[in-house]
Structure 1
Amino acid sequence: MNIVVIGGHGLVGRQVAALLRNDGHNVTAASRVTGVDIVTGAGLDDVLAGAHVVVDASNAEPPYGEPSYAFFTTGARHLLDAEQRAGVKHHVSISVVGTDRLESSPYFRGKAHAEAMIRASGVPYTILHATHFYEFLLAIVEAAIADQVLRLSPALIQPVASSDVAEAMAAIAVGEPFNATLELAGPERERMSDLVRRFVGDMESPFDVVTDPGAPYFGALLDDGSLVPRAEARCCTMPFNTWLRRSEYARANW
């Protein structure tokens, strides 16, 4: 099967590409470093020629502000138009649990509008809503830092390892389209401020974590239902402590 992974050199995309190659598929990892840019549309027609499946694992950098909204909406339009021209049979997209509940955030609003485009495109699709990756905790820290203090919401989260998400996406890519949204989560539910406090504590970081119900999360205010999955979500098995022991962040030298 010919599969193109957009964002194929990023955190999830490179893992998906490797899994699919190991399974014997013809995989092209596409990103700006290979001359493919979904925001401008550059290189899309060439890279999608002959593709059966497109896995969109692209992500906005940085993950906040109006540029993230433009990235997702413009990128989705260019990518889906190119897929229609190429006759792609399955569009697989990674998104975030809670996307439809956080309209005040440009990032999540962009994700939600991109998903609406996918559903209306006519290209058979599967959208995977994953909870936030353990690896994304560092971005949460970086976004919340102010004078050596991290003000973070006590909202519940249920993060997941990116490797588990990549395995799920690879399996979806070689199956029939669901034409629906699936949900994937980690095995443990915890308050964001508490989990980040453990994370930065293990790294012996110089930051104090303050629990603040009014602290914004990439432009959105959270409640306990904002970022956790619904009852029918599939739960993976790797707990936070296991991931952290294996990660580059374990006892990092700050």
Structure 2
Amino acid sequence: MKIVVIGGTGLIGSNAVKKLNEHGHEAVPAAPSTGVNTLTGEGLKEALQGADVLVDVSNSPSFADDDVMNFFTTSTTNLIAAAKDAGVGHYVALSIVGTDREAEVGYYRAKVAQEQLIRNSELPHTIVRATQFFEFAGSIADTCTVDGEVRLPHVSAQPMAADDVSTAVARTAAGEPFNGIFEVAGPEPMPVDVWIRTVLEWRQDPRKVVADADALFFGGRPGQTALLPGPDARLAQTRLAAWLAADRKA
């Protein structure tokens, strides 16, 4: 199958392209650097020529509320139109566990809008909602650092390795449309502050991690279960300890 991966040069997309090609598919990365711009539509028609599957793992260059909403609504509208014109048989999109529970977070509102556009498009589709990536620990710590301390809500999450996310996306792209949403998550739940503290200590980062009931997470105050997947989530295999060991080797 020919599978076009929008955002195919990024963390998840490049790995998904590699996995798909290793399994005999023709996976093609598409991004501004390859001449494909989903906001303007530039290069979309050419990129989707003969495509069986469209995978969207792209991300907004700005996380400001208005910018991210414009990115996901505009790019998804353009992708849907291009996919219909090209006769694409499966539209796969990567989203986030908890998007429908965190309405105060602008990024999550934008992902909900993206999901709704895809679900209303009448295209055969699958939306994969993933939990937070282990790889985001450092950037989360940076965002939540106040006066030298990393202040985080003491709520549970179930983070996962980006490689496992790429595997889930690749398998979905190679399979039949689900015509709905399913979740993928790491194998072990843990409080967000414990996760970030563990990573920082492993990396010998001296910052103190503090559990703070008033701390924001991506601009909102998540409830105790807001970042956790549902009971039917498909669980990945990589545990935090194994990921950390591999991270140090890298």
Q: For the residues of structure 2 that align with 1:122 and 1:6, how far apart are their CA atoms?
A: 20
Q: For the residues of structure 1 that align with 2:243 and 2:40, how far apart are their CA atoms?
A: 36
Q: For the residues of structure 1 that align with 2:9 and 2:74, how far apart are their CA atoms?
A: 20
Deviation readout 1:52-75 (Å, 9 max, x if unpaired): 100111122344543222222221
Partner of 2:154: 154
**TM-score relative to the length of structure 1:** 0.94
List gaps (5 residues or longer) in structure 2: none
Partner of 1:225: 225
**Is the contact between residue 204 and residue 251 of structure 1 (CA under 8 Å) also seen in structure 2?**
no
Partner of 1:144: 144
Q: For the residues of structure 2 that align with 1:153 and 1:95, how far apart are their CA atoms?
A: 22
Residue identity matched to 2:5: V
Q: For the residues of structure 1 that align with 2:101 and 2:184, how far apart are their CA atoms?
A: 17
Q: Cα RMSD over matched residues?
A: 1.5
Q: Report the identity percentage.
A: 39
Q: Offset of 1:106 from its aligned partner?
A: 1.0
Query: What does residue range 1-254 of structure 1 map to in structure 2 within 5 Å?
Result: 1-63=1-63, 65-247=65-247, 250=248
Q: For the residues of structure 1 that align with 2:117 and 2:13, how far apart are their CA atoms?
A: 21
Between 198-207 and 44-53, report the one with greater CA deviation. Answer: 198-207
Deviation readout 1:188-245 (Å, 9 max, x if unpaired): 1010011111111111113121111221111111111111001011111110010011
List gaps (5 residues or longer) in structure 1: none
Between 38-47 and 99-108, report the one with greater CA deviation. Answer: 38-47
Number of positions where the alignment pairs a residue of Structure 1 with one of Structure 2: 250
**Is the contact between residue 5 and residue 28 of structure 1 (CA under 8 Å) also seen in structure 2?**
yes
**Is the contact between residue 64 and residue 219 of structure 1 (CA under 8 Å) also seen in structure 2?**
no
Between 69-78 and 27-36, report the one with greater CA deviation. Answer: 69-78
The residue matched to 1:127 in structure 2 has which SS?
strand
